[in-house]
A and B are shown apart, each in its own frame.
Chain A
Amino acid sequence: MLDNHQRMRRLSEATRVRTGRIRSDGPAIALIAVGAVIIRGIVRWSGFPFVGDWVPVGTSYANQSYSPWNYLLHNGTFNPNLRLVWLFEPLGHLAGQVGSWSFSLANSTFLAIVAILPIVTAFWTLRPIVSQRLLLVILTLFYALNPWITAQDASGHVGVMRC
């Protein structure tokens, strides 16, 4: 049987561990919250997620994307997106037919990932080298959502998912 004193000590220790964990996880929690806020209006079950140069892709584009010469696009042209075949081919097949619910969901989710991935990669990179928690959050957001990245996102330049 533990006496009251011991019980109180253990409780305070547990509280301290919990508080410490929350403190150390604080930046991650804050960034998750920011991420959730900035993409809350993007993911949808219906609609056509266009943005700048980005056109939502489906099965038909997935079938075009692996060939170095695209016979269908622009009266036949060199395929400049061959380097992204590993990204567009699965995405296109996942999206399915144009106008379907899967098409909307897959493409809008992809855009949401494009928007939040810089936060994830910046946090992952900076966490081992930035000891101050507030500075970690500020620097992560500065790196991931600065006006240059914002303009690239709005232009539909999906390669902005920089690691």
Chain B
Amino acid sequence: MKAVRAGLLLAVIFDLDPHMGVIAGACVVTTVVLRRLSIGFNTATKNQIVGLKEFAIAMFVTLLCSLYWLMPDLAAAQHLAYVPVAGKEPTSTLSSLAQFDDLLHLMGLRSFWWAPFSNGFYGSGIFRSLLVIGLICGPVGLILRALLSTHDRGKWELPALWIMVPVAMTQCAHLFVTTYARIVSLPGGNLFRDPNEALPLMILGLCILAIDAQPVVLSRLGQTLLGVTVVASLVPWATGNLDGYLEPLASVGTQEQTVSWLNDHAGSGSSTLWLPSDSYLTTDWSSKLITDPVSYWTTVTVINPLEDPAYDFSPATTLATDDLESLLRNARSLGELGHALAAAGVRYVVVRLDSNPHSVVEQYHWSLLHIYGVHLVQKFGKEDIFEMPGPIRAFGTVTHGMTLYGGTWTDMEQALGIDPKDHRTFVNIGNLETDRIVYLSPLTTLVTDDIQASAIAIGLTTVMPLSSTRQTIVVDNELMHLYQDGQKIVVHSNGFFAMHLLGLNDGTSEECNGRKITQLAVYQQPDVGSARWIGFNCRGSAEIRFHGSVWVGRVQSSTAKNYAERLATVESLIRHGGSAYMIPFDQFSSVTNEFAMLSDSQNPLVLPPGRYQVHIACNETCPPTRIRLLSAAKGLHPVSPELKNGAFLSTRNTPPVTAFRNEYRLLITGAGATSFEELYLEKVPQGSNKVDGAVNRHSSQSLSFHSSTPTSVISLVGSPAPWELTGAAKQSYGPLIANMYGNALGVSGQSATISLGYLTEVEIVGMVLSGATLVLCVMFLVLKAPFDRKRRDRHRELKNGHP
């Protein structure tokens, strides 16, 4: 009966907070083990063996009662594309979590990582010094008393162990963070990535020390010291609302109205994005940092990412949103961004002008007002709702194949510019390391402006981790680490070595096995504000030394053969009908006093056969521009005769579609180079991965599709949720992150039902098992209680000498 009661209690603790469940379990295990050690294993009495049985029963009851969430969690860990707790814990995060784990904070039990709670609650100046002393005098007094006491030391082994474990953990994290990072990266170790989560064990140990001291009377001094600690602990609570933290906010601005309007207008399937997208907000209507409530109050999908990497199940969404905010903040490449958002399934973007920092939010607002096709549709107080230009991507679409692209919003915008009315399924070329089937499929197309960059991004490579203790930024969907002047990266290269860099102003020096590299295999010109790739062939020790500060993104190595194969794969993808190759302006030489796109006569750019068009984008309205084909290679004449003779006018909204073939020389004259933001020569797609079929939504968890082709790609709006196909169709690859905020699945077969909530079955089984256990335990306790009471009474009577 005790075991069942203990099991139920443990289940409640475990369900409320798994950390505490583990700590409670550790308490029980250490108690049992120490007791058995003290009595010796061979001399254990029958009662003590029964104690172990009771422990096992309690654990079993706890486990069964928690299956309702353990089963879906474990199933998810098996099926989800990305599980954050499985990742390696960065030392920078651990350093931050352990920053107040010095002994002064620890002994006062105020080692929580957030300074306002560990320090701010306890005043300032002399008052704070007094409180700090007050907080540590109780715990230190108890520990000293235990250490100095001479009698019955055996009683204090257990609390000593409970105190020592958290102390060791916090000091390890505080002083040897790299070692602690290795420990918490082990399976299950992530539960204690914040070493302060183990502190309740220390608190229990201190309480046991005080309780055990009772028979010899916790001296008046001891009680006084503990009393002082309690009084100091109560200081933050003296206000009646925990220093204002637990007091309800009087207002949340106009969030309620905006959420309500969006609930009524957004419709199912489309998404909304709230800017700023941070998980924690500082606003005009709250003096404290608050968690963004919108995701919890809405009935439509909200994109705003959960930015804490420890709990983020979709880091791709976080990176895409960071990239978007960066574009809006810097007003870069805004032209067709509205269409790109619509193609990602975003219908509404809300700008919270009452959020801080105001300058950034106002920049978001300005940028959205200047994006082509984006309209301000509603305003509530200081919250403005913008609607993206249609058509908004439907919740589910079916296409023949998928289109690979660079993976950033700028790349998406460029790709959409080629055939804006055709909703392809866009998949980031950098996310295909394990899906060879995608880029080897004849139905896959590619939109790229750089063959080498695409080749580096595609295929199987060894991606090398960078030191996580460095300062980082996110640029164009990529996490980059800061390296200072004179610092270097040395890695083992398998044949081809490449690195993505930003801010390379003063160059680098490269060495392979100690020999200086004179000719780089890749030296990409950077896009405006973006990074570039550099790479060289090396088998052995590859070293790059930086001359000036630089941000380093992806670093990879592969065999020379593998890289050559990837180049060939990209070139073959460009030849697929529907692919497009864009040659940016920076790959052309310039001519004095003219803005020219001239292929270098010494090194002519040879393009795959096809039709090409000139793409121009400008910061504001494009100036009148003359584009003239100067010459073409022998036998390869332009298709359009008027182009040969002279020029045509280009404006922003009516891009010229003029065809010519192969080698070329173009001359562009107009207002000068600074007027143009983008200037590309694009291969005109010969057909593309058009929408061909339909997805029908039956409920939030059940869909069906039909396609006119034997193989196709199904794409949905929203993060990669676990899918299950039932029916004739079979999954051939995926799911893959598609259209920035969506996911796609390759299928063979022309129709099937898609179940989005296959975990529900697992959940039902878990709930039934947990519920049945709970009911049985309660029935057992209720039915057995009268018998136990009778037995106790009889035992008491016998003890008192009555019949």
Measured CB to CB, the residues of A under 8 A from B are 34, 37-42, 44, 46-58, 60-61, 63-64, 67-69, 71-78, 80, 82-87, 98-99, 104, 107-108, 111-112, 115, 126, 129-132, 134-135, 138-139, 141-143, 145-148, 150-163
Contacts and interface: CB of A to CB of B under 8 A. Distances in A.
A129 B109 CA distance: 24
Contact of B114 (A85, A111, A155, A158): A155
Contacts of A150: 117, 121, 233, 236-237, 242
A74 B304 contact: yes
A82 B72 contact: yes
Given A42-B246, A82-B72, A160-B17, A68 B760 contact: yes
Contacts of B111: 148
Nearest to B311: A80
B759 interface: yes
A60 to B, nearest CB: 5
Given A69-B756, A98-B256, A148-B196, A138 B240 contact: no
B718 A142 contact: no
B246 A162 contact: no
B792 to A, nearest CB: 16
Interface string B56-75: 00000000001011001100
B425 to A, nearest CB: 17
Nearest to B289: A52
B314 interface: yes
Interface string B694-732: 000000100000000000000000110110000000000
Contacts of A132: 214, 217-218
Nearest to A132: B214
Interface stretch (B247-255, B416-424, B512-520, B681-689): B247-255
Nearest to A143: B207
**Most B Cβ at <10 Å: residue of A34, A49, A52, A131:** A52
B297 A98 contact: yes
A25 B116 CA distance: 37
B297 A67 contact: no
Contact of B211 (A61, A71, A130, A159): A130
Contacts of B109: 146-148
A131 B214 contact: yes
Contacts of A51: 242, 245-246
B61 to A, nearest CB: 15
Contact of B234 (A39, A49, A141): A141
Interface stretch (B8-16, B371-379, B583-591, B612-620): B8-16
14 contacts: A46-B250, A48-B293, A49-B249, A50-B291, A57-B296, A73-B302, A75-B741, A83-B15, A132-B217, A135-B218, A143-B207, A147-B110, A150-B237, A154-B243
A162 B296 contact: no
A37 B300 CA distance: 41
Contact of A153 (B211, B242, B251, B301): B242
B718 A141 contact: no
B314 A74 contact: yes
Contacts of A83: 15, 18, 66, 68-69
State the 8 A-B residue pairs at the shortest beta-carbon distance, nearest first.
A47-B248, A159-B17, A41-B241, A41-B240, A151-B112, A147-B110, A83-B69, A40-B240
A46 to B, nearest CB: 7
Contacts, number: 272
Given A77-B306, A77-B719, A148-B111, 15 more contacts: A44-B247, A46-B250, A47-B249, A48-B252, A68-B72, A68-B763, A71-B700, A87-B16, A142-B233, A146-B233, A148-B109, A150-B121, A159-B17, A160-B17, A163-B16
Contacts of A141: 230, 233-234
Interface in B253-291: 256, 259, 271, 286, 288, 290-291
Contact of A142 (B229, B259, B306, B311): B229
A139 B211 CA distance: 9
Nearest to A154: B245
Nearest to B247: A41
Contacts of A154: 116-117, 121, 236, 242-243, 245-246
A75 B245 contact: no
B299 A72 contact: yes
B298 interface: yes
B16 A84 contact: yes
A83 B226 CA distance: 36
A111 B240 CA distance: 12
B240 A71 contact: no
Contacts of A151: 110, 112, 114, 117-118, 121
B311 to A, nearest CB: 6
B314 A139 contact: no
B305 interface: yes
A58 B296 CA distance: 8
Contacts of A147: 108-110, 112, 118, 121-122, 135, 233
Contacts of A159: 16-17, 19-20
A51 B248 CA distance: 8
Contacts of B259: 98
A52 B302 CA distance: 20
B779 interface: no
B752 interface: no
B394 to A, nearest CB: 16
A148 B23 CA distance: 15
B317 A153 contact: no
A78 B80 contact: yes
B317 A75 contact: yes
Nearest to B741: A75
Nearest to A153: B242
B13 A162 contact: yes
Contacts of B314: 74-77
A55 to B, nearest CB: 5
B480 interface: no
A39 B247 CA distance: 9
Nearest to B105: A147
Given A68-B760, A145-B234, A54 B13 contact: no
A160 B23 CA distance: 13
